[in-house]
């Protein structure tokens, strides 16, 4: 059976985006993230993180640091009684990447590679799914992957920002009414 997912960008949605966040000391959860994830999970949505991590490609930190921080982040979600079902990341950058990381990889948002991979691996119903991102590239990836609801999280709306195919929200709590009740599936 196909399941809907809540796709979350990391920096700017799950945590405050200070730029290339790669340590626990600089990782601060955003207001409302645990309530949002618990609500989605209780209504039958998988929780899937899709995050560009160009800091790896730029040589600012390594994959091992990313995995360590990800494990720590996921453990905090578990302490809040919600499980992150999967984390996908793209360490590439088309111009600033170093070595093998310098490429316009299909996984890097705004391309939909991470979402398509999640759909295939987790059997996700994309039209019933929701994506929350803080950049137009997140929305473009969601739209390209066929995600039914794409929410752009911006506390201060930039009216001149040309971001189409989304609903703008100022807080994560504004996303709660978008969740239909799909029931809970057996994993």
The residues carrying an active-site annotation are 9, 11
Determine the 3-state secondary structure of 131 from DSSP. strand
Determine the 3-state secondary structure of 81 from DSSP. coil
Structure token digits, residue 40: 């989605």
Q: Give the neighbor-by-neighbor strand order of the sheet with 167-169.
A: 86-90, 46-52, 5-8, 130-133, 149-153, 167-169
- Segment 16-23 long-range contacts (CB within 8 Å, at least 24 positions apart): 17/134, 20/54, 20/55, 20/58, 20/60, 20/61, 21/69, 22/55, 22/60, 22/61, 22/65, 22/66, 22/69, 23/65, 23/69
End-to-end Cα separation, the chain, in angstroms: 10
Q: How far apart are CA 77 and CA 65, in angstroms?
A: 19
């Amino acid at each position: 059976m196909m399941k809907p997912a809540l796709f979350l960008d990391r920096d700017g949605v799950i945590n405050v985006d200070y730029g290339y966040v790669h340590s626990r000391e600089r990782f601060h959860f955003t207001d409302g993230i645990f309530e949002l994830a618990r609500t989605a999970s209780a209504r039958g949505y998988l929780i899937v993180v899709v995050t560009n991590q160009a800091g790896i490609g730029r040589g600012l930190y390594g994959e091992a640091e990313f995995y360590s921080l990800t494990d720590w982040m996921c453990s905090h979600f578990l302490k809040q009684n919600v499980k992150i079902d999967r984390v996908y990341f793209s360490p590439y950058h088309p111009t600033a990447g170093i070595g093998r990381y310098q490429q316009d990889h299909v996984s890097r948002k705004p391309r939909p590679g991470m979402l398509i991979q999640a759909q295939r691996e987790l059997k996700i119903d994309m039209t019933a799914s929701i994506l929350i991102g803080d950049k137009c590239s997140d929305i473009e990836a969601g739209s390209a992957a066929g995600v039914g609801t794409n929410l752009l999280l911006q506390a201060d709306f930039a009216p001149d920002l040309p971001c189409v195919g989304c609903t703008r929200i100022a807080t994560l709590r504004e996303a709660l009414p978008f969740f239909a009740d799909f029931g809970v599936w057996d994993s």
